[in-house]
């Protein structure tokens, strides 16, 4: 018996060959980029992070080369995406919440210490030295003349790098082989990197084209790690609880440094009145906002879906398109338009209300009106999503149920509350929870529409009547005078726990609903 085999088209073979070649090239390019990232991390002294990237890179290469790990090739990209875009950012946010990271504590301890040690104290406006830059073969020397008539000269050195050049006292004035002013001007960048050190330790730095100014280090590091203020000899120690170098009299020195504070930020949220009161206000409004918006969008979407499924309605396709448009237009366009419509002075809505009823509501100055405006705008933006979901679920309801209901003499309201709503409520419940979680973190709406306004006047932190937890956290991190990133991260961690709980509940409901079906 002869077996016939279909010939493989040559064009298909060539296409697969090119596809494999492109995938291999993409893999090599990704490998080279990853290695470049590792080199950059090592150069930045992030050795632990570099080791982690190398470990992940090695595991990825092994998975894509070893034939027994073929199935993992489809799992790894998604796992890496979740790790890079979800786990790592959230882990970093939680870690920052246990520190004092803020605009006053930006630097690590070592860098903050270096800043203090690099500071100098001038010996006074008159403590200056005239200098001459002299050529010594391929190298240079600097000669100084103090106001007391003493002369100093340095050993030959190479210009072009940051360096400390010791100088010794000389009995003779610097010779006449000094370079002209034109040459000194050309070497300004190199001269600014030179610190001349007198025999008594006084440091000289260039202050003008012909003059160096005497200065001394403001602080000196001691053997035990503490610092000494050279101006008055006071001992300075690092206060890790406050994140500052601190003098004996309690005075702190800027800049501060990052330090671990444990659960302090979380304790402050729930114990300090200036944080607790606005947090509770914002939390209550966030729950109300998310719940009411979910209810409004669901109710409006279901009602419109039922109306659009009415067979006697003419032009249903046109109405569907028009009612879907609010969802098709990006929020970055829609929300500023609404901001203009609700403008208290020039907005079209107030103009119409003024003509009809003689009123001009303060949409952005009254807390109740501002919240009502936010709910109204978000309901407009969110109902098309619920309408589409409800339309699909209503299509799945057997027509026989409505026919039997009609024979029993039931009306539209009875059909809606006895047939339509009960049958779509269970499958749409997980989506309602997801909508609640989305509204819970709706930073875009608040930032573009009200920016939290109207602000409360009785709080120490910037917060307004329409702020959600997301926008409240943003304002603490970037608009507060202290820019307390650590406290904002602590609040973000709490929000994450709430949303994660909602996600777990969503999955449980979805699982229960699927098992019941």
Domain match, 414 and 457 both: yes
User: What is the secondary structure of 280-310 as a DSSP string?
Assistant: HHHHHHHHHHHHHHHHHHHHHHHHHHHHHT-
Residue 175 CA to residue 134 CA, distance in Å, equals 8
Domain match, 355 and 431 both: yes
Residue 201 CA to residue 166 CA, distance in Å, equals 9
Residue 380 CA to residue 300 CA, distance in Å, equals 9
Cα–Cα–Cα angle for 42, 48, 50, rounded to 5 degrees: 45
pLDDT value of residue 218: 85
Domain match, 288 and 234 both: no
Q: Residue 172 is part of a domain; what is its CATH number?
A: 2.40.430.10
The whole-number average pLDDT for the span 414-432 is 90
CB count in 10 Å sphere of residue 293: 26
Residue 282 lies in a domain: yes
Q: What would the pLDDT profile of 315-333 be if each residue is shown by its tens digit? A: 888 998 899 888 889 988 9
Residue 449 lies in a domain: yes
Domain match, 227 and 287 both: no
Query: Mean pLDDT in the chain?
Result: 86
Q: What is the 3-state secondary structure (H, E, C) of 359-404?
A: CCCCCCCCHHHHHHHHHHHHHHHHHHHHHHHHHHHHHCCCHHHHHH
Predicted structure pTM score: 0.75
Lowest mean pLDDT among 7-11, 168-172, 203-207, 432-436: 7-11
Number of domains in the chain: 4
| Cβ-contact 491, 283 below 8 angstroms | no
Residue 104 lies in a domain: no
Based on the number of CB atoms within 10 Å of its own CB, is 379 exposed (0-12), middle (13-18) or buried (19 or more)? buried
pLDDT value of residue 1: 47
pLDDT(107) > 50: yes
Q: What would the pLDDT profile of 212-260 be if each residue is shown by its tens digit? A: 888 777 898 999 999 999 888 899 999 998 899 999 888 999 999 999 9
Domain match, 80 and 155 both: no
Q: Virtual CA dihedral for 67, 70, 72, 73, nearest 10 degrees?
A: 110
Residue written as token pair 């003499």: 409
Residue 101 lies in a domain: no
User: Looking at the chain, how many residues does it have?
Assistant: 517
Q: Give phi and psi for 354, each to the nearest 5.
A: -70, -40
Calculate helix-pair angle for 485-516, 421-440, nearest 10 degrees: 160
Residue 390 lies in a domain: yes
Q: Residue 153 contacts by C-beta under 8 Å, 6 or more apart in sequence?
A: 141, 142, 143, 144, 167, 168, 170, 174
Residue 89 lies in a domain: yes
| Cβ-contact 134, 513 below 8 angstroms | no
Domain match, 330 and 476 both: yes
| Domain interval for residue 71 | 26-96
Residue 275 lies in a domain: yes
Write the CA distances from 449 to 346, 353, 435, 437, 466, integer angstroms: 16, 20, 20, 20, 10
Domain match, 189 and 90 both: no
The whole-number average pLDDT for the span 370-385 is 95
**Of 423, 439, 426, which is closest to residue 306 (Cα–Cα)?**
423
Q: Residue 86 is part of a domain; what is its CATH number?
A: 1.20.58.370
Q: What's the gap between Cα 7 and its chain centre?
A: 56
Q: Residue 501 is part of a domain; what is its CATH number?
A: 1.10.3720.10
Residue 60 CA to residue 28 CA, distance in Å, equals 12
Q: What would the pLDDT profile of 47-85 be if each residue is shown by its tens digit? A: 888 888 888 888 888 887 888 887 887 888 888 888 888
Lowest mean pLDDT among 207-211, 237-241, 270-274, 348-352: 207-211
Domain match, 331 and 455 both: yes
Cα–Cα–Cα angle for 10, 16, 19, rounded to 5 degrees: 140
Residue 4 lies in a domain: no
- Strands of the sheet containing 235-239, edge to edge, are 219-221, 227-229, 235-239, 244-247, 252-253
Q: What would the pLDDT profile of 279-298 be if each residue is shown by its tens digit? A: 999 999 999 999 999 999 99
Domain match, 401 and 281 both: yes
Residue written as token pair 């726990």: 497
Domain match, 194 and 323 both: no
Residue written as token pair 């709503």: 421
Domain match, 407 and 356 both: yes
pLDDT(11) > 70: no
pLDDT classification of 448: cutoffs 50, 70, 90: very high
Domain match, 172 and 235 both: no
Q: What would the pLDDT profile of 495-506 be if each residue is shown by its tens digit? A: 899 888 887 887
């Amino acid at each position: 018996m002869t077996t016939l085999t279909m010939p493989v088209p040559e064009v298909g073979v060539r296409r697969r060959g090119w596809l494999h070649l492109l995938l291999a090239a993409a893999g090599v390019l990704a490998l080279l980029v990853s290695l470049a990232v590792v080199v950059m991390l090592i150069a930045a002294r992030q050795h632990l992070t570099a080791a982690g990237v190398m470990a992940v890179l090695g595991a990825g290469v092994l998975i894509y080369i070893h034939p027994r790990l073929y199935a993992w090739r489809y799992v790894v990209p998604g796992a890496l995406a979740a790790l890079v875009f979800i786990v790592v950012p959230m882990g970093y946010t939680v870690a920052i919440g246990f520190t004092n990271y803020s605009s006053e504590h930006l630097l690590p301890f070592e860098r903050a210490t270096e800043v203090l040690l690099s500071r100098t104290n001038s010996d006074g406006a008159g403590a200056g030295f005239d200098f001459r830059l002299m050529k010594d073969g391929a190298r240079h020397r600097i000669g100084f003349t103090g106001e007391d008539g003493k002369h100093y000269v340095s050993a030959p050195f190479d210009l072009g790098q940051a360096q400390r050049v010791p100088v010794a006292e000389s009995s003779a004035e610097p010779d006449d082989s000094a370079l002209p002013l034109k040459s000194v001007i050309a070497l300004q960048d190199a001269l600014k990197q030179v610190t001349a050190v007198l025999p008594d330790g006084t440091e000289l730095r260039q202050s003008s084209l012909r003059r160096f100014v005497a200065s001394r280090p403001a602080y000196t590091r001691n053997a035990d790690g503490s610092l000494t203020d050279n101006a008055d000899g006071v001992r300075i120690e690092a206060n890790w609880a406050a994140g500052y170098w601190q003098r004996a009299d309690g005075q702190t020195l800027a800049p501060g440094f990052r330090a671990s504070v444990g659960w302090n930020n979380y304790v402050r949220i729930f114990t300090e009145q200036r944080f607790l009161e606005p947090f509770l206000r914002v939390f209550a409004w966030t729950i109300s906002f998310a719940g009411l918006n979910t209810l409004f969008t669901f109710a409006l979407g279901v009602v419109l879906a039922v109306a659009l499924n009415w067979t006697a309605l003419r032009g249903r396709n046109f109405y569907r398109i028009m009612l879907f448009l609010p969802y098709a237009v990006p929020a970055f366009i829609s929300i500023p338009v609404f901001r203009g419509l609700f403008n208290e002075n020039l907005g079209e809505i107030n103009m119409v209300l003024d003509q009809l009823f003689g009123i001009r509501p303060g949409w952005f100055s009254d807390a109740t009106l501002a919240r009502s405006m936010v709910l109204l705008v978000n309901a407009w933006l969110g109902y098309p999503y619920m309408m589409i979901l409800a339309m699909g679920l209503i299509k799945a309801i057997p027509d026989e149920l409505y026919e039997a209901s009609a024979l029993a003499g039931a009306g539209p309201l009875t059909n809606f509350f006895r047939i339509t709503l009960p049958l779509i409520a269970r499958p749409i419940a997980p989506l309602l929870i997801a909508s609640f979680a989305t509204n819970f973190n709706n930073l875009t709406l608040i930032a573009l529409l009200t920016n939290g306004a109207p602000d409360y006047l009785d709080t120490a932190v910037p917060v307004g009547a329409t702020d959600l937890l997301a926008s409240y956290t943003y304002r603490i991190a970037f608009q507060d005078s202290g820019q307390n990133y650590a406290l904002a991260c602590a609040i973000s961690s709490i929000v994450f726990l709430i949303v994660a709980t909602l996600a777990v509940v969503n999955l449980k409901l979805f699982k229960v609903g699927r098992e019941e079906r």
